[in-house]
Amino acid sequence: MLSVEQFLTLAAILFSIGLYGALTKRNIIIVLVSIELMLNAVNINLLTFARYGLMPAISGQVFTLFAMTIAAAEVAVGLAILIALYRNRNTSDVRDQDLMKW
Amino acid sequence: MVEYAWLIPLFPLVAYLLLFVLGRRAQEGIVTAISVLASLASFAIALMILSDVNANGPQEPFAFHWLTIGGVTLSMGFEVTSLNAMMLAVVTFVATLVLLFSKGYMHGDKRYPVFYQYLNLFIFSMLGLVISPNLLQVYMFWELVGLCSFLLVGFWYYKPEAAAAAKKAFIVTRIGDVGLFIGIILLFVATGTFEYTGIFEAIQAKNFAIDWISPESLITLVAILIFIGAIGKSAQFPLHNWLPDAMEGPTPVSALIHAATMVAAGVYLVARAFPIFEASPDALMVVAVIGGITAIFAALIGLTQNDIKRVVAYSTVSQLGYMVMALGVSAYTAGVFHLMTHAFFKALLFLAAGSVIHAVHHNQDIRTMGGLWKKMPITGWTFLIGALALSGIPPFAGFWSKDEILLGAYASGNMTLFVLAVLAAFCTAFYIFRVFFMTFTGSFRGEKEVFDHAHENGSVMTIPLVLLAIMATVTGLLNSPLTNHAFEHFLNKAGEVGQIHTPEVWLMGLSTVVALLGIGLAYLMYKKGSIKPESVAGAVRPLYNLSLNKFYIDEIYHFVIVKPFVGIGHLLNFIDRWIVDGIVHLFGQGTFVGSLGLKYSQNGQVQTYGLITLLGTVILIGSAMLVIGGVR
């Protein structure tokens, strides 16, 4: 039987990896993937508390399903934007996407 | 009849509103008709009220509740006393004639209807002031009168001198108004009422106190403060200098300001509030001295002025000085009587001067006039009558009233004042006949073309002159021994005010001789030429210059008052612009400059933003942990 701490540690590790990737990777696709990783880490947290929390309830799992659905839609939109960006600027490097400044 | 007195100011107000609605393009004829009819209606009612008061005596004031503030009830209303019944008749009479005269004088002016609007408002304000039973109401109309004089003096505002004169008239009289306002407030604090009757009763009952000042000093203070208001309005020394400058306005306005409205307001107020002054011998002394100084001072300036209207203006200042002096020496009847006779002959002189000015194409310099008698005999005759009345030659109006003032000054025992008044009478006769001889006799000294075009003006201008000339001749008889001092009995119906003296024949003789001497000297200098004016001026050059430059009063004020105030203004402007605004701008500019630097932190790198957000979150959570003391 796995304990709550182990689930939460796993989620924390996954979230940290995702955060690291989102902040450091140069390839825009990897950044997107890292963001998905962070989302899923959060999902694990939600499920953990839904099952082992102080007040276990089904709503945590429902939330997770919603989050996954939204994440899928988000990835679809995100990828579309990435393709558009690539077509326009001919690069997939995050550092080159710096038009939103003074 | 007296209960309809409120109609008197109402008619000019209605005329004003009507003209206002008709607008700037109204026909000249319609505008004049409305104004003159309204004024005539007021005059008719004023006459009926005058005869009513003469028959039945004055009545209690009519008042209605206006508003209550805390425990204080303020009321509005109107009153009719002997004094203001007389004033109402004089004001409406002069106003009607001025309105009629303006039709000729202002003919063709682009803002003709506006001129009549202002005139009507002016007349309304003055009538409202006269009819007010309490000081608060007086003050409101007092300010309205000031406003109207500002509008009318500056009527030709595109002339810089007129605009400056209007500003000067407004600001200088405001100085007096402040004094009056403080006086009214003090009276209210001391007695709890604004009503004349209530205030007079309180003073009589010595029920009159404020804790920080003794009752005697308080009453002197209040009287002097009210008198300061009158100094401003009635152009007494040292606030006299606005009145001659006000000559920049159209001449009918000058006639109205000098005869019936505005300057009469100050003397009227002192006369109406006379019981306050009577209660304080010190205040009366101040009034008398200021009046005496003004009378001689303005007369001396009048000797050398070359602008026909300015000479007449200085004569007004001088005559107002007489009135004030009369009130100051408790010769109440004499002062009020002179106010009345002066209204007629001064309106006459101004309108006659206006007629001359109109005939010579709005030139006012008497050095370029002369020989106009043949060209405009009616104006000449009426001006002569006005001049004789002003000089105090029997049987003209000015003689009787001026003689009474001299008598009052003599009876007061203050010989300095008496001598000053006699001297001023001499100067008055001299300067007004100087103007007369230089304008109407000899040969024309201006351009020949102007002289050829000069002619008597139409009947709208001559009829007022003739009517005023008649009044200037006969009104003096109202208070002469010939009519058994009818005016005096009328004025003192509600109880005797001030002191009344029996006429002295030798004094009448003296004042006549003095006036004749003045006229004779003017005749020798400006008609016969046996004494050269230039040689006289040369003999007393410093004095001559002093008089010609109006004793340098304007210059002194410029350096002593205007300059320091302009300096303070510059200083305050500096503080406001650089210190107050500076602080505000500092914040604005600081933010702006700071942003200029900070904008470079916006590099568009989304990962940098993310990192900083992360750091911020860590710091926030870390500090929160520290505060609550770790995880629990």
What tokens does A68 get? 């996954």
pLDDT band per the 50, 70, 90 thresholds, residue B498: low
What is the C-alpha to C-alpha distance for residues B243 and B319, in angstroms, rounded to an integer? 13
User: Which amino acid, B192?
Assistant: G
CA distance B155 to B145: 15
pLDDT at B539: 74
**Model confidence band, residue B415 (pLDDT cutoffs 50, 70, 90):** confident
pLDDT digit string (tens) for B327-386? 888 888 888 888 888 888 888 888 888 888 888 877 778 787 777 788 888 888 888 888
The answer, for A87 touching chain B at a CB cutoff of 8 Å, is no
Q: What pLDDT, on the 0 to 100 scale, is given for residue B281? A: 85
DSSP assignment letter at A93: B
Give residue B631's pLDDT band: very low, low, confident or very high (50, 70, 90). Answer: low
As given in the structure block, the two tokens for residue B110 are 């682009």
Chain B nearest CA to A63, separation (Å): 25
- Report phi then psi at B369, rounded to 5: -110, -170
Say what the pLDDT of residue B73 is: 80
Rounded to an integer, the average pLDDT of B421-431 is 88
Among the ranges given (A63-67, B535-539, B602-606), the one the predictor scored with the smallest mean pLDDT: B535-539
- Given a contact cutoff of 8 angstroms between Cβ atoms, the answer to whether B190 and B222 are in contact is yes
Give contacts of A15 with chain B, Cβ < 8 Å: none
d(C-alpha B16, C-alpha B10), whole Å: 10
pLDDT tens track for B434-481:
888 888 887 777 777 777 777 777 777 888 888 888 888 888 887 777
Average pLDDT over residues B251-260: 81
- Residues B407 and B337 sit within 8 Å (Cβ to Cβ): no
Q: Looking at CA atoms only, how far is residue B601 from chain A in angstroms?
A: 9
With beta carbons under 8 A apart, name residues in chain A contacting B617.
none
What percent of chain B stands above pLDDT 90?
9
Residue B508, pLDDT score:
82
Q: What is the mean pLDDT of chain B?
A: 84
B144-183 pLDDT, tens digit per residue, is 988 888 888 888 888 888 888 888 888 888 888 998 999 8
Residue contact B603–A100, C-beta within 8 A:
no
Quick check: B599 and A98 CB within 8 A? Answer: no
User: Do the beta carbons of residue B152 and residue B257 sit within 8 Å?
Assistant: yes
Distance from CA of B605 to the nearest CA of A (A): 5
Determine the residue type at A44.
I
Indicate if the pLDDT at residue B536 is higher than 80: no
Is residue B361 classed as helix, strand or coil in its secondary structure?
coil
Chain B nearest CA to A61, separation (Å): 27
Amino acid at site B591: T
- In 3D space, the residue among B381, B407, B402 whose CA is nearest the CA of residue B390 turns out to be B402
A27 touches chain B (CB under 8 A): no
Q: Give the one of A19, A24, A94 whose C-beta lies nearest to B606's C-beta.
A: A94
The residue among B382, B380, B353, B347 whose CA lies nearest residue B366 is B353
- Residues of chain B found within 8 Å of residue A98, distances taken between Cβ atoms: 603-605
Confidence of residue B497 (pLDDT cuts 50, 70, 90): low
CA nearest to B361, candidates B443, B449, B441, B462: B449
Please tell me the predicted confidence (pLDDT) of residue B552.
80
pLDDT over 90, % of chain A? 64
Sign of CA dihedral B67, B68, B69, B72: positive
- ipTM here: 0.86
The answer to whether residues B35 and B19 touch, using CB atoms and an 8 Å cutoff, is: yes
Q: Write down the pTM of the prediction.
A: 0.77
- A94 contact residues in B (CB cutoff 8 A): 605-607
Question: B496 pLDDT band (50/70/90 cuts)?
Answer: low
Say which of B599, B610, B614 has its CB closest to residue A102.
B599
Q: What is the pLDDT of residue B632?
A: 62
Answer whether residue A44 shows pLDDT above 90.
Answer: yes
Q: Which residue has the higher pLDDT, B228 or B548?
A: B228
The closest CB to that of B610, out of A23, A101, A102, belongs to: A23
Query: What pLDDT score does A40 carry?
Result: 92
Under DSSP, the state recorded for B61 is P
d(CA B632, nearest CA chain A) in Å: 15
d(CA B228, CA B226): 5
Q: Which of B389, B387, B386 is nearest to B401 (CA)?
A: B389
Average confidence score pLDDT of chain A? 90
**pLDDT class of B570 with cuts at 50, 70, 90:** very high
Q: What is the pLDDT of residues B464-475, one digit of tens each?
A: 888 888 888 888
How far is residue B21's CA from residue A15's CA, in Å, rounded to a whole number? Answer: 82
**Chain B residues closer than 8 Å to A22 by CB:** 607, 610
Neighbours of A45 (CB within 10 A): 19
- Would the CA dihedral through B562, B568, B574, B576 be positive or negative? negative
Q: Is the pLDDT at B125 greater than 80, yes or no?
A: yes
Is B605 an 8 Å CB contact of chain A?
A: yes
Query: CA torsion angle for B225, B226, B229, B233 (degrees, to 10)?
Result: -150
Taking phi first (over 0 means left), then psi (-120 to 50 degrees means alpha), and beta for anything else, what does residue B604 get? left
- Residue B569's pLDDT band, with cuts at 50, 70 and 90, is very high
Nearest residue on chain A to B609, alpha-carbon basis: A23
